[in-house]
């Protein structure tokens, strides 16, 4: 497995350079802590994000691939032999970076052993520096995925805590989901603890086990086709990763509309894999105020975007 030296410092340095040069646009957010089933979730609001520049799609049918020839200003480092790291161009969390494959591979295909090995190398690089890192992967139309080129995204946990008042409790959700007894959430999830230094083979076995569990629940819910996930997952899902946990959440919807206090519809409020980190983002003041004033709305959203809660199957700790 790759060893990445000084990755946290490298990411922070490149982020500052890219922000100063205009290669990335950082969107400031306000943050509030909501709770669902006793677990804390960050609610972030960025008014400016509604005005985020839209990509200029060419008239041809071929979409722009931001990872085919990444901007030098966003590039962080190669991760030989098969991956590289780049900064997110429009972050709402500082030091948000992305692991992408050098050659085009589909986001909806199974993650391969080298994908998971490279992802864990990033997690380990932060842990070895005394820091924490959260990774997430969006796959499928209902997952919040925006690019077809395979990529896994990362948020430094210290950066995720930015804006939270001192003394307010919040932690990465994925790490809470491997505790005993397992927390109950409004959506089905499948979690597995990781050892201190799992092999790439172990990581892939855990990933496939979790996908099998997700496929079984998807089949029993009769929500989508029932093909085998060992070739291609027949369902949309989010993957959450820390150096301690791997979690998969099958998805039915990318987002859900909610009603404000006047009964007017808002949204839809879209969620991606950051929900497994315990955070969600809204773009309007009305959404922000409605969720802050009624935490049951958060539960409604979480219940609507996934499958009904189930008891996790214990495969044991590899």
In the chain, the domains with their CATH numbers are: 7-48+71-221+231-305 (3.30.428.70)
For 142-157, how does the pLDDT look when each residue is reduced to its tens digit (9 = 90+)? 999 889 999 999 999 9
pLDDT digits (tens, 9 = 90+) for 40-62: 999 999 988 766 665 544 445 67
For residue 146, the model assigns a pLDDT of 85
More confident residue, 190 or 5: 190
97: phi then psi, degrees, rounded to nearest 5: -130, 170
CA distances to 21, 259, 318 from 146, rounded to whole Å, are: 25, 26, 32
SS3 string of the chain?
CCCCCCHHHHHHHHHHHHHHHCCCCCCCCEEEEEEECCEEEEEEECHHHHHCCCCCCCCCCCCCCCCCCCCCCCEEEEECCCEEEEECCCCCCCCCEEEEECCCCECCCCCCHHHHHHHHHHHHHHHHCCCCEEEEEEECCCCCCCCCECEEEEEEHHHHCCCCCCCCCCCCHHHHCCCCCCCCCCCCCEEEECCCCCCHHHHHHHHHHHHHHHHHHHHHHCCCCCCCCCCCCCCEEEEEECCCEEEEEEECCCEEEEECCCCCEEEEEECCHHHHHCEEEECCHHHHHHHHHCCHHHHHHHHHHECCCCCCCCCCCC
pLDDT at 98: 99
Residue keyed to tokens 């922070």: 12
pLDDT tens digit sequence for 49-97 = 766 665 544 445 677 899 999 999 999 999 999 999 999 999 999 999 9
At residue 145, the pLDDT reads: 87
């Amino acid at each position: 497995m790759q060893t990445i030296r000084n990755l946290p410092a490298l990411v922070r340095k490149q982020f500052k350079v890219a922000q100063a040069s205009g290669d990335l646009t950082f969107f400031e957010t306000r943050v509030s802590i909501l709770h669902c089933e006793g677990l804390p979730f960050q609610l972030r609001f960025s008014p400016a994000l509604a005005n985020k520049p839209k990509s200029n799609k060419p008239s041809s049918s071929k979409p722009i691939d931001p990872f085919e020839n990444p901007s030098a200003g966003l590039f962080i480092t190669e991760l030989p032999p098969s991956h590289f790291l780049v900064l997110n161009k429009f972050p709402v969390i500082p030091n948000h970076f992305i692991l992408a494959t050098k050659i085009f591979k589909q986001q909806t295909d199974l993650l391969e052993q080298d994908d998971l090995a490279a992802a864990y190398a990033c997690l380990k690089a932060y842990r070895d520096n005394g820091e924490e890192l959260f990774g997430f992967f969006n796959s499928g139309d209902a997952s919040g995925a925006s690019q077809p080129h395979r990529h896994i995204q990362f948020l430094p946990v210290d950066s995720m805590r930015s804006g939270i008042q001192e003394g307010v409790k919040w932690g990465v959700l994925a790490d809470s989901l491997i505790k005993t007894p397992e927390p109950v959430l409004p959506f089905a999830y499948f979690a597995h603890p990781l050892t201190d230094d799992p092999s790439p083979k172990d990581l892939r076995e855990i990933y496939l086990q979790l996908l099998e569990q997700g496929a079984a629940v998807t089949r029993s819910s009769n929500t989508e086709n029932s093909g085998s996930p060992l070739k291609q997952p027949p369902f949309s899902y989010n993957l959450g990763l820390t150096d301690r946990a791997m979690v998969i959440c099958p998805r039915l919807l990318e987002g859900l509309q909610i009603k404000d206090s006047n009964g007017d519809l808002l949204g839809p409020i879209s969620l991606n894999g950051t929900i497994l980190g315990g955070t969600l983002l809204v773009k309007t003041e009305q959404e922000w105020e409605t969720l802050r004033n009624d935490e049951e709305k958060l539960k409604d959203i979480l219940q609507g975007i996934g499958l009904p809660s189930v008891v996790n199957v214990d495969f044991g700790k590899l």
